[in-house]
Amino acid sequence: MANSEFKYCNKVQCQCCAKLLEELEKARRELQSLKEIIIIIEVNPTETRRITPKSPSKIEDGRWSVVRPKQLKQFKIPLVVNRFVMPLEMFPVATKEEGKSTIAYGAAKEKPRKHKVLLLGDSQLRGCADLLKQNLNKEFGVSGLVKSGAKTSDILATNMEENMSEIDVIVVYAGTNDISKNSAKEGLSTIINFVRRNSHTNIMVMEVLRRHDLVDWSCVNKEVKSFNRHLAKRLKLYKHVSVIRVNLNRQHFTRHGLHTNSKGKREMCQQVAELIQQKLEAVVNALPLKYKEYTVHDEAAVNHGKQEERTSANPSPNCMAELVQQKLRAVVNALPLKYKEDTVHDKAAVNHGKQEERTSANPSPNCMAPSTGAQQQKVRMSTRRRRPPVKLSKDFL
C-alpha cells in the first residue's frame, strides 16, 4: 500500500515539475528579449525622445502663443434633439475666419418668404410639410405642427396662427380621432370657432378621409360622410375659408387602411399645393373696387378745380360763354330727380283728367266702359303686370 502511494506522489510531482520548467523557460526568453531591447536603446540614444528643460511641458504659461489657421474651415456639427434628427438646413454652421482665434456659430440666414403655409393636423399629415414644399415654388415657406392621435381641440390649441397675414394660408386636417371617439359635434364646433377667431388670414380645411380598415356601411364611415357634409355647409358662410376634398383610392392607403402611404401623401400634397396657389393668386389679384372709384373721382375733382382756377384767372369772351353754359348745366343737373318725376307725373295726371272730362261729356259708343271682366282687362290703364291669385298647396282639406 505504501509503495503504491509513493508511486502516485512521484507521478504528481513530476507533472508539477514539468509545468514549472515551462514557466521558467518562458521567463528566461523574456529576459533575453529585454536585454536585447536595452542594448538597442543604448546604441541609438538620439532616436528616443527625452524630457529636457526646453520641452513644452517645462515652458511657462505666459510664453505660449495662439496658433492661427491658414485657411478658412467650414464644418457642420450635427445636433440630435430627443429622438428626431433636425433637418440639414437647420444645422448651425461653425466657421473659423482668418486672423481670428474665436469660432463664430450661427445658422445660415434664409431669405424671407413671401407667403407662409402652416399645416395643423394629426398623423395623416406626418411628413407632408416637406412634400408640400417640393410642390410649391421658392416664394412659399412651409411649416407643420403634427399631433398624432390628438383631437381637434388639441390640434388647434396653438398660437402660431397669430403670425399669419392675409397672404398666408393655414391648412387644417382634424376630426378623425373625434369621430372614432363619438365626439364629432365637439370637433366641428372647435373648427368653426377657430375659423371665426382667425379671420385675418386664409384657412383651408381638409375633409376627413374615409377609413379603409372598415367597411363602407360601417357606422364610423357613415359618421365621416355626415361630418364632411356638415363641415362644408357650415363653412360656406366664411369667405376666407375653403374646404378641400382630396380624391384618393384604396391604393393610396397602407395595408391596415387607416393612414395614407407615401404615394397617397404625394398625391394629397400635390392637390393641396394646386389649391393653395389658386387661392393666393385670387387674393393677390383682387383689388378693392371702392379704392379705384375714390381715386378716379379725386383725380377728376382735382383736374376740374385746376381748370376753373385757370379760367377765373384769365377769362376770355369765349370762355365766359362756356362758363355760363357750364353753370346752367350744373344747375339743371343739380335738380333732384324726384322733382322731375313728380312734374312729369303731374302733367300726365292733368292730361288724363282733361281727357276723362271730355269723354264723360260726350260719350261715344266705342268709348263706353265694357261690362264684362274680360273687356275690363283690355281697357285697364295700368302697365303693371297683374299677378294670378296664389292658391294654398298645403291645405289641410
Integer-rounded Cα Rg, in Å, for the chain is 48
Task: Report the chain's mean pLDDT, rounded to a whole number.
Answer: 73
Q: Which of 6-20, 236-250, 374-388 has the lowest mean pLDDT?
A: 374-388
d(CA 59, CA 209): 74
Report which of 90, 92, 136 is spatially closest to residue 117, judged by C-alpha positions.
136
- Do 192 and 234 touch, CB atoms closer than 8 A? yes
Give me the amino acid identity at 211.
R
pLDDT in tens, 301-328: 545 555 555 555 555 556 667 776 777 7
> Where does 236-372 have alpha helices with state H?
262-285, 289-313, 317-333, 337-361
Q: Which helix (H) or strand (E) covers residue 120, if one does? A: strand 115-121
pTM (2 decimals)? Answer: 0.47
Report which of 127, 207, 209, 221 is spatially closest to residue 171, judged by C-alpha positions.
207
d(CA 280, CA 169): 8
Residue 275, exposed/middle/buried by CB under 10 A (0-12, 13-18, 19+)? middle
d(CA 171, CA 142): 10
Can you give the pLDDT at residue 295? 45
Higher-pLDDT residue of 348, 271 = 271
pLDDT in tens, 59-88: 676 677 777 666 655 555 655 555 555 565
Paired strand residues for 361? none
DSSP SS3 for 203: strand
Domains of the chain (ranges, CATH numbers): 74-106 (no CATH), 115-285 (3.40.50.1110)
Say which residues have a Cβ less than 8 Å from residue 108's Cβ, sequence separation at least 6: 89, 93
Torsion angle of C-alpha atoms 272, 274, 280, 283, degrees rounded to 10: -110
DSSP E strands in 35-79: the ranges are 73-76
Say which residues have a Cβ less than 8 Å from residue 69's Cβ, sequence separation at least 6: 96, 98
- Do 211 and 220 touch, CB atoms closer than 8 A? yes
Chain position carrying cell 266702359: 369
Read off the pLDDT band of 137 (50, 70, 90): confident
pLDDT in tens, 124-136: 898 899 899 989 8
